[in-house]
Amino acid sequence: MKDVIAFLKEQGNLKIIEEELDVELEIPHVAYIEVKKDNSHPLLFTNPIYRAKKIKYDIPVLMNIFANYEITKKIFQKDPNVIGQKIEKLMKFKPPKSLIDKIKMLPELVSLKNVFPKRLKSKGICQEVIFKGEEVDLTKLPILKTWEEDGGRFITMGQVYTQSLDGSMQNVGMYRLQELGKNKLAMHWQIHKDGNDFFSQYKKANKKMPVSIAIGGDPLYIWCGQAPMPHGMFELLLYGLIRNKNARLVKSITNDIYVPEDVDFVIEGFVDPNDFAIEGPFGDHTGYYTLPEPFPVMEVTAITHKKNPIFAATVVGKPPLEDKYFGWATERIFLPLLKPLAPDLIDYNMPENGVFHNLIIAKMEHKYPGHAKQFMHAFWGVGQMSFVKHAIFVKEDAPKLTDYEAITKYILNRISKDRIFISEGIIDHLDHASCKQFVGGKLGIDATGEKVAKKIESIEDEKLLSLMQELAPEVKALKTYYKECANPITVIAVEKKESILHLFKKLEPLEKHLAILVAVDTFNNDLENPYMLIWRVVNNIDAKRDILLELFIGIDGTNKSALDGMQREWPNDVHCTKEVLEKLKHKGIIDIDEEFIKKFGLLEYQLY
| 40 phi, psi to nearest 5 deg | -60, 140
- The question of whether 284 is a catalytic residue gets the answer yes
CA 281, CA 178: separation in Å to the nearest integer?
10
Which residues make beta-bridge pairs with 517? 490, 554
**How crowded is the C-beta side of 548, counted as CA atoms within 13 Å?**
24
Among the listed residues 241, 269, 271, the one whose alpha carbon sits nearest the alpha carbon of residue 255: 269
| Other beta carbons less than 10 A from residue 508's beta carbon | 12
Contacts of 49 (CB under 8 A, 6+ apart): 20, 21, 22, 23, 55, 56, 57
C-alpha to C-alpha distance for 535 and 355, rounded to whole angstroms: 7
What is the residue type of 353? N
Q: What is the DSSP letter of 302?
A: E
Among residues 150, 284, 428, 521, which one is catalytic? 284
Q: Are 185 and 313 in contact (CB under 8 A)?
A: no
Q: What is the DSSP string of 176-194?
A: -EEEEETTEEEE---TTSH
- Using alpha carbons, list the distances in angstroms from residue 71 to 7, 68, 220, 230, 240: 10, 6, 12, 27, 20
Alpha helices in 141-186 (DSSP H): none
DSSP secondary structure of 367-401? -STTHHHHHHHHHTTSGGGGG--EEEEEETTSPPT
- Given a contact cutoff of 8 angstroms between Cβ atoms, the answer to whether 315 and 284 are in contact is no
56 φ, ψ (degrees, to nearest 5): -110, 125
* Residues tagged active-site: 284
